[in-house]
Amino acid sequence: MGIYALTGGATGIGAAIKQQLLAAGHTLISIDIKDADIIADLSTADGRQQAIKAVRLSATDGLDGLITCAGLGANVNNGALIASVNYFGTVELVSQLAELLARRQGSVVLISSNSAPMATEDGLIKQLLAGEEDNARNTASALSGQASYSSSKQAVARWMRHHTRDFAAKGIRLNAIAPGYTQTPMTAAVENDPLYRDAIRQFVAGIPIGRPGLPDDIANAVLFLLSPAASFICGSVLFVDGGHDASLRPDQF
């Protein structure tokens, strides 16, 4: 059985991943702003360092895997906060826990989004990838929640691909999941937001298989990527979205 760390395990997709890992008999270290083994605010540098230090104390023999599920949705009316949690709350933990992952030839699954390819804020994405948190927050604060969200998720996927070779050299596989619309408390808040309600309903109606995703749909894919069955999958972004990305971008893959 393995030792895994998971951010954002209190609700939604993260809770489903947590449940599946525990059901399989693994040891889990959960990190969240509430209802977790490690309580930490990943929107701040201090909170991220607090989480990293606590994981190091809890997993002295190393980690078999890390899943970065903590994130904020497009309904959050604070682009700067979205950028800090979704991007820096992901990449800083992956980067600084690499030593623990290397000890056990661990695997990392980052949660991106199938809205990531639709991001158009190149300036924000470049600032995120450059690690310029203050500048990125300033840029994101002037954007809509959706623009900040999709940009942060594209930056997460691109960061993963930029670092795949270096992590693989340490024996660590990096991959990302790009969920489509999934029924969670976060997406319910977006669906009930008057600003996004109609667009979300149209978005859901366009899912080729005819239904929105469930948290276990995403968790199933995450556990596969963590498993030995996926040992040759490295640097990939797996769309788990009922065929939505394929229907929206049939000539891009």
Residues 63-106 pLDDT 10s: 999 999 999 998 898 999 999 999 999 999 999 999 999 999 99
pLDDT attached to residue 195? 79
pTM value is 0.94
249 domain-assigned: no
| pLDDT digits 0-9 by tens, 11-35 | 999 999 999 999 999 999 999 999 9
| pLDDT digits 0-9 by tens, 142-165 | 999 999 999 999 999 999 999 999
9 domain-assigned: yes
CA-based nearest residue to 8, from 212, 16, 195, 81: 16
Q: Which domain holds residue 146?
A: 3-240
Buried-state track 98-136, b at ≥16 Cβ within 10 A, e below 16: bebbbbbebbbbbbbbbbbbbbebeebbbbbbeeebeeb
Quote the number of domains for the chain: 1
Is the pLDDT at 44 greater than 90? The verdict is yes
45 domain-assigned: yes
| pLDDT digits 0-9 by tens, 165-217 | 999 999 999 999 999 999 988 778 777 878 778 888 888 899 999 999 999 99
211 domain-assigned: yes
> Where do the DSSP E strands lie in 132-172?
none
Is 85 within 8 Å of 43 (Cβ atoms)? yes
Buried-state track 14-39, b at ≥16 Cβ within 10 A, e below 16: bbbbbebbeeeebebbbbbbeebebe
Mean pLDDT of 48-58: 98
pLDDT attached to residue 200? 82
Token digits of residue 108 = 């990392």
pLDDT attached to residue 192? 80
Residue 119 belongs to a domain with what CATH number? 3.40.50.720
233 domain-assigned: yes
What value does the mean pLDDT of the chain take? 95
What does the alpha-carbon distance between residue 240 and residue 219 come to, in Å, rounded to a whole number? Answer: 10
Is 149 marked active-site? yes
What does the alpha-carbon distance between residue 146 and residue 127 come to, in Å, rounded to a whole number? Answer: 17
Annotated catalytic residue, options 4, 149, 181, 196: 149
What share of the chain has pLDDT > 90, as a percent? 89
14 domain-assigned: yes
253 domain-assigned: no
